[in-house]
Chains A and B, each alone.
Chain A
């Protein structure tokens, strides 16, 4: 039995906006499944349906063997959820939050304190456990949120953009925890808009754009599908305007396909032979009276996969910079009964 099975899942909001448009996916037990896509792609809506916070308007999904629409209570008993907004009560202490979460998940009263203390220790918040959550940093809140999601040892864990807005150190700490969970056999469904995060953590990836899954596979296979490296080219003195850029594009046509320029360069072009093409490219541009300021050969990345499948970059993907706070997709209402 798969940990998560999704067939033709849809969610249409009032006004006809289809945030999720018939997706199929399957996540095996113990797998870390990365769900990658830009803001507004449908990631959060998908997660909210899978965790029973939002009723699907089409298709079906099972989580831990239970149907999300017909057996939501069974689904809730078997999953851990760390939502995008790290829904914490800022006036409570970390320990109070953990103990409340333990009670909500039916942990026996005599075990509540012990289990809470164990997880607080595990995520490195022992020193801060008696401080109000409002005094925690973003990274500490995320770790607390993760610990709360693990209080009942769920078989499937949903992490919705767990590192969005975090500093690199906090991000790395959370990555380590996800790896540890994987080693312990927990199935993890991880949404992210960070390519590096998906590359580092996911056994398999689904790339979602416009509410549809446009690619699925292991990071290695997806990158191999795209295959060819590309050159990022910056012209000297930023060229002499649009005319130079057009001329450069014309010159580079014979080397391979043009692609959207990477951040900070003027042109990007895929090259058939990799490093062997560099000299020819420079010479051709020089012959056309165009001087190259810098040139970088870039091996295929998940961003290339994303571009190949959607024709555009993944926002914030390559840099890992914090994306905008608010998701562009409609914020869904509350929960399935």
Chain B
């Protein structure tokens, strides 16, 4: 195995173990979106009767995707906070003084993020199925939803890591938490785009979170179709490439500044 892969795997494992041993950081990633999911489904389930609302098996089916997206966004913030804490505590210096490829520092963190994204996706799909959700496109659709979710989880984590490398303190990274809510509410995650009023429909059209949420939702509420899935995958992958690139550039810039 190439050295960069070996080191990235070792750092991923460490970051994952670290996250598992810090439940106070991990639990809110699923608990808060789960509570919001319960509140939305319980209180707003008559939304499905609105004219223009797509035909769905149940409002829970529709709301699973925003809950998953929200959870993955929280995961990105948590990964950023964890990285910032390591910078504050000096552990990052240990990595910086080790003879390892620098990119492994970022890849290690993202490897852990993808594993955590699997857990998050499993959680929401499990509680969805337990509480009566119906995946219309069956197992293939489930796998597609899973795939988009994991790529999106990596993208959000890379954004968190880039911010942590730039800010170098956990409180700044934590400070973007409200922005996560705003960016998600300014997408079509919670509400169909055709029912949004101006200018929110326009904002949602340019918000990649719309496509990620719709890409994950479509296999649940419809038969598998290429366009929303490919758009979702493209949005998640595009964001991931941009965010990973940004975090690597930020890391290099930070090292050069030193």
Query: What residues of chain A have their CB less than 8 Å away from a CB belonging to chain B?
Result: 51-55, 73, 76-77, 79, 81, 83, 85-89, 91-92, 96, 100-101, 103-106, 109, 132, 148, 332-337
Contact = CB atoms under 8 A, between A and B. Distances in A.
Nearest to B252: A337
Contact of A337 (B21, B168, B255): B255
Interface stretch (B29-37, B48-56, B69-77, B93-101): B93-101
Main SS of the interface on chain B?
Answer: helix
18 contacts: A53-B97, A55-B258, A76-B97, A76-B99, A85-B90, A87-B89, A88-B94, A91-B22, A92-B14, A100-B11, A100-B14, A104-B10, A104-B99, A105-B98, A132-B21, A333-B258, A334-B96, A337-B252
Minimum-distance CB pairs A-B, first 8: A87-B90, A335-B96, A85-B90, A76-B99, A104-B98, A333-B258, A103-B10, A77-B99
A142 to B, nearest CB: 14
Interface band, chain B: 20 to 34
Contact of A334 (B89, B99, B255): B255
A101 B64 CA distance: 41
Contacts of B87: 334
B90 A100 contact: no
A54 B95 CA distance: 14
Contact of A85 (B89, B97, B99, B252): B89
A92 B20 CA distance: 11
A99 to B, nearest CB: 8
A109 B96 CA distance: 21
B17 A96 contact: yes
B7 interface: yes
B255 A103 contact: no
Nearest to A86: B90
Interface in B58-107: 86-87, 89-100, 102
A158 to B, nearest CB: 9
B248 to A, nearest CB: 12
Contacts of A100: 10-11, 14
